[in-house]
A = this chain, B = another copy of it.
Amino acid sequence: MNRPLIVGVMGGGKVAEQVRTNAYTLGSLIAKQGWILLNGGRQAGVMSASASGAHEAGGLTIGILPDNTARSADAHIQIPIVTGMGNARNCINVLSSDVVVACPGGMGTLSEIALALKCQKPTLLLNYNIERQFERYQADGILKYVDSPQQAIEQIQAIFPNANEGK
């Protein structure tokens, strides 16, 4: 490999203090290896913490932004890549990383883990417990489990009682 390794660090925008501390340390260690840090670029959670850690340790930081200007980039992102593509930029995060390290996060992070595995990228989960992720959405009623196509239709009818008026 004649380019520096690009390590993608994924993780949530709203995370516990311990997760931020780990992300900061991870960014710092990546920079000390001479590797490049790539993340989602925003001024929040794991993105902000890992960029600070890498930048303050003298490393290069790349942020792949969902928005259509660089204004939303964290101050520790030296190279903001402005996609204007919302969550579709998650694919770019993954494809551009030689290896993905996922810190705890929500469904955005999980989509990146899934895409990374789909693309056969080496993926490390740092204290990330996937199994518990879906419970909150079930509790909110956004996610439901059904056992048959008929039950799926009934659930859709319950969610959209007027759905058949558009026929």
| Chain A contacts to B: CB under 8 angstroms | 1-7, 22, 25-26, 29-30, 33-36, 60, 62, 64, 68-70, 75, 78-88, 90-92, 95-96, 98-99, 101, 106-108, 110-111, 114-115, 117-128, 130-131, 134, 137, 142-150, 152-153, 155-157, 159-160, 162-167
Contact = CB atoms under 8 A, between A and B. Distances in A.
Contacts of A118: 87, 106-108, 111
Nearest to A106: B118
- Counted per complex, copies of this chain come to 4
Contacts of A160: 1, 5, 98-99
Contacts of A167: 4, 33-34
A33 B153 contact: yes
Given A29-B150, A88-B85, A156 B7 contact: yes
Contacts of A163: 1, 5, 33, 35, 98
